[in-house]
Structure 1
Amino acid sequence: MNANLVFLTNLLSTWYLMGLIWMVQVVHYELFDRVGADQFARYETDHTRLITPIVALPMLIELISAMGLIAMSPAGFPRWAAWAGLALIGVVWLTTFFVSVPCHSTLVNGFDQDAYRKLVNTNWIRTIAWSLRGILLGYFTVRLING
């Protein structure tokens, strides 16, 4: 695989996930407390089932392509940027599995105000990390295009 294709794959997966996380943070999670207690457990179960396929594969592609950038980067994309990007993915994955997933596991049993607030507030960690990745890759995309 060529370094430019690895970079492009990483850029596209990151920007897809960055857009998705902003929609989830600003719209989707903000509506969780409006579902109603009687329907919430089903809503949360459906949310988890429906969102997993549109998040899991792009996250995996992003991770693999970010590791690829460590091994081979296009000329003009510094190694420190590849490592910084991979570190931000680490922040996203750790927050996902050790904070977000446990909150969703609580919410699947019914609406819980504390778990909901924790989910919304800590999701900013992922939103900021993906945004920083997007900015980093966007910056180097412009530099690579302009030579």
Structure 2
Amino acid sequence: MDSEFFLSLIALVNVCVSWFMVGLIWVIQIVTYPIFSSVGGYKYDSFHSKHVSLITPLVAPLMVFELTVAVVLLAMSGPYWNYGYSAVNLGFMAIIWTSTFLVQIPLHAKLSVRFEKKNHTRLVKTNWIRTFAWTIKGLLSTILIFSLLQIPRFIIRQILILKFEFY
């Protein structure tokens, strides 16, 4: 397999995993985290525990995979792929991982003991860091795949304005 094809494949995987994570983080931010405050009393502990036990096996491997892809893109930077793009991509991963391990996981640990409004509010507010970082990373990844695959501008323009002619 030639390196240009492999790089294109890795860049495509990067776009796909990025957008999957974008969708997931927006659902968590807009739907799941706000619901925490609606679950009262003894039901909260069970609810939070169930959330963590179900979301972790989904998110953790994908985050590791996404980080691996970002490192591979950086390592393959060269004639077909700009080092700066890869560094920015990996930079967004650093923001996401730092926020996850230094902010979100400790807040979940506190919330697993008992619901406290201040910790819940902090969880929701600080999770915007990851939400925006993943969203920007997804947009950047999309732009980069178009430049890597050298899709002609008129095709991109047609796709963006949804102006297709059917015969």
What's the secondary structure of 2:81's corresponding residue? coil
Tell me the C-alpha RMSD between the 2 structures.
1.6
Q: How far apart in 2 are the matches of 1:73 and 1:133?
A: 17
Residue 67 to residue 33, structure 1, CA distance change in 2 (3 Å): same
Partner of 1:97: 101
Identity of aligned residues (%): 35
TM-score by length of 2: 0.83
Counterpart residue identity of residue 78, structure 1: N
Find the partner of 1:146 among 151, 155, 167: 151
TM-score by length of 1: 0.94
Counterpart residue identity of residue 66, structure 1: A
Q: How far apart in 1 are the matches of 2:56 and 2:150?
A: 34
Structure 1, unaligned runs of 5 or more: none
What's the secondary structure of 2:99's corresponding residue? helix
Q: Deviations over 1:63-93 (max 9, x none)?
A: 0000000111486532101000101100000
Does 2:103 correspond to 1:115?
no
Structure 2, unaligned runs of 5 or more: 153-167
What's the secondary structure of 1:87's corresponding residue? helix
Q: Which runs of 4+ in 1 moved over 3 A?
A: 73-77
Q: How far apart in 1 are the matches of 2:143 and 2:10?
A: 16
Structure number, greater radius of gyration: 2
Determine if contact 1:18/1:131 at 8 Å carries over to the other structure. Answer: yes
Counterpart residue identity of residue 151, structure 2: N
Find the partner of 1:46 among 50, 65, 70: 50
Determine if contact 1:14/1:134 at 8 Å carries over to the other structure. Answer: yes
Q: Deviations over 1:78-118 (max 9, x none)?
A: 21010001011000000000100011001111211111001
Q: How far apart in 1 are the matches of 2:41 and 2:111?
A: 11
